[in-house]
Amino acid sequence: MANSKYEYVKSFEVEDEVMLPNLIVVRIDGRDFRRFSEVHEFEKPDDERALNLMNSCATAILEEYPDIAFSYGFSDEYSFVFKKTSKFYQRRASKLLSLLVSLFSSVYVTKWKEFFPEKELKYPPSYHSRVISCASIEVLQAYLAWRQNDCHLNNLHDTCLWMLVKGGETENKAHEFLKGTQKQQKNELLFQKFHINYKNLPAIYRQGSCIFKTKVEENVKYSENGAPVKRHRRKARIFHAENIAGRSFWNEHPSLLKEVGGFTEDADKIKLEYVRFFQFENKLMPSTWIVIRIDGCHFHRFSEVHQFEKPNDKQALNLMNSCAVAVLQEIPDIIFAYGVSDEYSFVFKKDSHFYQRRASEMVSVTVSFFSSMYVMKWKEFFPLKELKYPPSFDGRAVCYPSDEICRDYLAWRQVDCHINNQYNTCFWMLVNKKGKGKSEAQDYLKGTQAREKNELLIKEFHIEYNELEPMFRQGSLAFWEKEDITLTDENGAPVANSHKKVTVEHCDIIKPNFWEAHSSILESETHLTIKTKQSIDPSPSSSEVAMSSTTGQVIKCKAAVAWEAGKPLVIEEVEVAPPQANEVRVKILFTSLCHTDVYFWEAKGQTPLFPRIFGHEAGGIVESVGEGVTDLKPGDHVLPVFTGECKECRHCKSEESNMCDLLRINTDRGVMLSDGKTRFSKNGQPIYHFVGTSTFSEYTVIHVGCLAKINPAAPLDKVCVLSCGISTGLGATLNVAKPKKGQSVAVFGLGAVGLAAAEGARIAGASRIIGVDLNSSRFEEAKKFGVTEFVNPKDHDKPVQQVLAEMTDGGVDRAVECTGSIQAMISAFECVHDGWGVAVLVGVPNKDDSFKTHPMNLLNERTLKGTFFGNYKPRTDIPDVVEKYMNKELELDKFLTHAVTFSEINKAFEYMLHGKSIRCIIRMDA
């Protein structure tokens, strides 16, 4: 086949081979299966039919791929273990995880009616998948023990939860009741209150299911006298065992010993928490175009079995296009797709943070959803054809650093489309019209050039190649396009409106014409509407930014001005000047009240600076930018941050620091850096800024280095709280303390920052989260954030560090201090375990305080660390924190206890001062 000048783009593909002797495990997890199970009304806590459907899908995987020796699954997940000598697809991680998740998804949809004949499949399921590279048989053993332990713990908890709900409790109360309970307590609850012996529940619920092939005797034929002729065959069978990682179970099955290996000791002697470090993870390079290309697996055979028309089956191509459109609608970060035959390439926006740019997640979700959709839509395009077996696709992710290279990639695919289609058209005309055999037709076309093929089509078959359908010759493009529509108001008058829709076209993307006509496609985020999804009764006026009429002009808007210390804020009309060099003017849509605002408003212990506009936790949209600003443009969604990231100083260039020399927080400065002037005024009187943000104003001006550009799909009324305290506490745990799964964490102070630190411990998988606070009433609220135990130092006649050491057999593994009390800081450090304990200081002490501890505490290998803003770099890291929320890893709703309109902003201060709120959201346009 001829090469094109675009072939060079293949050099950007990176090999991801899992090297021998590592054992390969591919784990598949349901994507948002809680919602899927609710929509499809699965039985709680366990739906046996749903579990059997999962087992049937896993069995199909083992039957299809002989290189898989063993699988284990429960709930909505399955893990597949490959033979130790497997060279399946050259052990390429992307191939393995995408093929398995694709086939699993297709089989799930195909078999749905077999298990749920009375239920309609309301939307296609999709799954994540990843590769775990087990460096030894012991790692595999620990991995299997970990997964089965999770099965048991999750099912025990869910059984208790749903029995409580069936007994009349609300789901929230049932969750609160179970928080902090141990296994024995849950077993006693089930037995005493519901007369359920947990051990008597079906094994499929408690133990999960493992599937592997064993020798079975089957009748293969019958002799002349009618006697059955039996043969031994290897067939996938389902087992339920109490300990799948135990030597006894493994030794009972010689095939496992031979194909995978044997265990030398029992899993209860192995630490499980380290297994997660063996995940084969590839985080894709930032600020590059990510292209995920999927290809049909053995589609030559698939097309023959399903009798697709040759050389092109229009319905089959339209089915592929329909699936691609669905993928774009499902994953907003995809801005363009190009498809031909049985392949499709999906282009993610350059600044996408979809799944934190983890290749395995991005590839698997895209391939899985496409595969499920293909099966669901089959009857729509082939109403008279039965789907004889489920299709599968493989996928890979490749990064392209520039617009030009990304376009060259797409041009390469379109050149291939033309070359392949021209060849196939000639080939099938020779076979179908001239009666040539397939080998004869191949020989005939060998070595022919494009011109010769065109002449063949014209002379022999009277076909002008360039007049064939564009979809056949040029492939298909799917992309977002603005559509203008006309609606009518309540009086019947026409009202112009517009919305985005996915369009499918068939045209030349090699020449510049298409890109010039659609210049916004490869411009970061301009394909997205600047409407923001909000959950507090949004109106058009609050989610649209009228940029063209205000750029470069003074804006008059409402602001909550603090004229004196401690006096109620006053809603005033103020003037906001245009942004100067390296500044950005932002329309604030939602803001939140932080304790720091209250502290400086009260002016206790610092030099008063009034009149002033407070506020520093917020979410908004860029209205205009000043000279030199290239990272942001009007319409971008941003979170202001009280500290900055200039990206030029030694701290910003260091991976070990987030303390920018230029933009480090300065609470005394009430003016902008560039000229020492304020951008706010009222009737000529200057009004001071606060920490460079001043978000208690409908419009504000902020240094570009203090703005984090975020996913425009993120709800600003939720993620605005990530601008300060929540990120500080979260990062203190995840970035600095870094607890491992199963470890214990003590959190000193259960205010907003402390609760965020507890949330970080929950995300990290801490087994015990001990809250320490002088206010015992905070414990109930803290349970929502994963706190399992509570200690009030006032309840004990000994130092709290001694209490904690006695509770935890020598000390907690990690401690996070969030009060600012010097005694709490000392206690946090001295309560961690010697040898490996880490204490992290977050609170800010009084300037005259000094930290005193015996040096032996350090010599005994306790570690003391401090952190500022959770060690997050605002522009680099906060977008990733937002994605944690978007991917449901981080829960924010429980922090949001109150909401008020802008005119009611003083109520937010009352809630904070009376200890009623964690975070109160202030809606600016109400």
Query: pLDDT for 318-347, tens place per residue?
Result: 999 999 999 999 998 999 999 999 999 999
| Cβ count within 10 A of residue 200 | 7
Residue 693 a catalytic site member:
no
- Asked if 187 and 198 touch (Cβ cutoff 8 Å), the reply is yes
- Per-residue tokens: 199: 């051990």
Residue 57 a catalytic site member:
no
Residues 685 and 535: their CA atoms lie apart, in Å, by 37
Spot the catalytic one: 110, 159, 288, 596.
596
Q: Which residue has the higher pLDDT, 497 or 689?
A: 689
In the predicted model, is pLDDT for residue 852 greater than 70? yes
In the predicted model, is pLDDT for residue 655 greater than 90? no
pLDDT, residue 278, reads 63
| Cβ count within 10 A of residue 578 | 18
> By CB neighbour count within 10 A (0-12 exposed, 13-18 middle, 19+ buried), where does 439 fall?
exposed
Res. 731 pLDDT band, cuts 50 70 90: very high
In the predicted model, is pLDDT for residue 95 greater than 80? yes
Which residue in 843, 821, 868, 878 sits closest to 617, CA to CA? 878
In the predicted model, is pLDDT for residue 28 greater than 90? yes
Which range, of 7-21, 353-367, 476-490, 791-805, averages the lowest pLDDT? 476-490
Residues 377 and 229: their CA atoms lie apart, in Å, by 43
- Per-residue tokens: 711: 């996913």
Domain spanning 554-722+892-923, CATH class: alpha beta
Q: What is the dihedral of CA 514, 518, 524, 525, to 10 degrees?
A: -140
pLDDT, residue 397, reads 95
- Per-residue tokens: 637: 């969604």
pLDDT, residue 783, reads 92
Spot the catalytic one: 151, 406, 652, 720.
652
Mean pLDDT of 914-920: 89
Q: Which CATH architecture has domain 289-474?
A: 2-Layer Sandwich (3.30)
Mean pLDDT of 161-189: 88
Res. 719 pLDDT band, cuts 50 70 90: very high
Residues 918 and 725: their CA atoms lie apart, in Å, by 10
> By CB neighbour count within 10 A (0-12 exposed, 13-18 middle, 19+ buried), where does 801 fall?
buried
603 Cβ neighbours under 8 A, 6+ residues apart? 565, 566, 610
How many Cα atoms occupy the beta-carbon half-sphere of 201 within 13 Å?
25
In the predicted model, is pLDDT for residue 867 greater than 60? yes
Which residue in 12, 528, 15 sits closest to 285, CA to CA? 12
- Asked if 514 and 508 touch (Cβ cutoff 8 Å), the reply is yes
Spot the catalytic one: 507, 595, 669, 904.
595
Which range, of 560-564, 609-613, 830-834, 856-860, averages the lowest pLDDT? 856-860
Residue 660 a catalytic site member:
yes
At residue 396's C-alpha, the angle toward residues 394 and 398, to 5°, is: 160
181 Cβ neighbours under 8 A, 6+ residues apart? 160, 189
Give tens-digit pLDDT for 498-557. Answer: 567 899 999 999 999 999 888 878 764 433 333 333 333 333 333 334 444 577 889 999
Find how far residue 738's CA is from the centre of its chain. Answer: 20
Q: Give the DSSP per-residue string, 47-64.
A: -HHHHHHHHHHHHHHHHH
At residue 56's C-alpha, the angle toward residues 55 and 58, to 5°, is: 65
pLDDT, residue 752, reads 93
- DSSP, collapsed to helix, strand or coil, labels residue 19 as coil
Residue 151 a catalytic site member:
no
Q: What's the one-letter identity of residue 919?
A: R
Spot the catalytic one: 134, 919, 920, 923.
919
Give the per-residue SS3 of 829-874. HHCECCCCCEEEECCCCCCCCCCCCCCHHHHCCCEEEECCHHHCCH
Spot the catalytic one: 418, 612, 616, 814.
616
Partners of 231 in beta bridges: 218
Residue 234 a catalytic site member:
no
Q: Please count the residues of the chain.
A: 926
- DSSP, collapsed to helix, strand or coil, labels residue 367 as helix
**CATH number attached to the domain at 20-209:** 3.30.70.3000
- DSSP, collapsed to helix, strand or coil, labels residue 619 as strand
Q: What's the one-letter identity of residue 902?
A: F
In the predicted model, is pLDDT for residue 674 greater than 90? no
Spot the catalytic one: 134, 417, 649, 818.
649
Q: Domain residue spans in the chain?
A: 20-209, 289-474, 554-722+892-923, 725-870
Terminal Cα distance for the chain, rounded: 64
Q: Give the E-state strand segments of 530-569 in sequence order.
A: 555-561
Mean pLDDT of 75-79: 96
Partners of 499 in beta bridges: 483
Residue with tokens 């570690």: 863
Which range, of 218-227, 410-419, 450-459, averages the lowest pLDDT? 218-227
Residues 306 and 384: their CA atoms lie apart, in Å, by 11
- DSSP, collapsed to helix, strand or coil, labels residue 584 as strand
Percent of the chain topping pLDDT 70: 91
Residues 770 and 701: their CA atoms lie apart, in Å, by 41
At residue 840's C-alpha, the angle toward residues 839 and 846, to 5°, is: 115
- Asked if 643 and 876 touch (Cβ cutoff 8 Å), the reply is no
Find how far residue 207's CA is from the centre of its chain. Answer: 29
Residues 288 and 573: their CA atoms lie apart, in Å, by 43
Q: What is the dihedral of CA 722, 723, 726, 728, to 10 degrees?
A: 130
Spot the catalytic one: 259, 343, 361, 617.
617
In the predicted model, is pLDDT for residue 2 greater than 80? no
Alpha-carbon separation of residue 268 from 74, 253, 313, 324 (angstroms): 20, 20, 57, 47
- Per-residue tokens: 291: 């292209």
Residue 152 a catalytic site member:
no
Residue 594 a catalytic site member:
yes
Res. 629 pLDDT band, cuts 50 70 90: very high
Spot the catalytic one: 134, 399, 557, 646.
646
> By CB neighbour count within 10 A (0-12 exposed, 13-18 middle, 19+ buried), where does 670 fall?
buried
Residues 702 and 639: their CA atoms lie apart, in Å, by 11
Residues 558 and 536: their CA atoms lie apart, in Å, by 20
> By CB neighbour count within 10 A (0-12 exposed, 13-18 middle, 19+ buried), where does 230 fall?
exposed
Residue 724 a catalytic site member:
yes
pLDDT, residue 751, reads 92
Give tens-digit pLDDT for 177-236. Answer: 888 889 999 999 999 999 999 999 999 999 999 999 988 766 656 667 777 766 767 888
Mean pLDDT of the chain: 89
Residues 837 and 745: their CA atoms lie apart, in Å, by 10
Spot the catalytic one: 323, 406, 417, 660.
660
Percent of the chain topping pLDDT 90: 64
Give tens-digit pLDDT for 108-135. Answer: 999 999 999 999 999 999 999 999 999 8
Q: Report helix angle 314-330 to 359-381, nearest 10.
A: 130
Alpha-carbon separation of residue 174 from 152, 343, 429, 790, 895 (angstroms): 19, 48, 68, 19, 20
Which range, of 29-33, 278-282, 854-858, averages the lowest pLDDT? 278-282
Given this chain, do its domains 20-209 and 725-870 carry the same CATH topology? Answer: no
Residues 825 and 822: their CA atoms lie apart, in Å, by 5
How many Cα atoms occupy the beta-carbon half-sphere of 351 within 13 Å?
19
- Radius of gyration of the chain from its Cα atoms, rounded to whole angstroms: 31
Spot the catalytic one: 297, 724, 818, 831.
724
Spot the catalytic one: 152, 175, 240, 664.
664
Pick the CATH number of 725-870 from 3.90.1150.10, 3.60.40.10, 3.40.50.720, 3.90.180.10: 3.40.50.720
Which range, of 33-47, 243-257, 482-496, 685-699, averages the lowest pLDDT? 482-496
In the predicted model, is pLDDT for residue 606 greater than 70? no
Residues 678 and 576: their CA atoms lie apart, in Å, by 9
Residue 616 a catalytic site member:
yes
pLDDT, residue 219, reads 64
Residue 399 a catalytic site member:
no
Residue 652 a catalytic site member:
yes
φ and ψ of 524, to 5 deg: -50, 120
Spot the catalytic one: 151, 417, 426, 594.
594
Residue 646 a catalytic site member:
yes
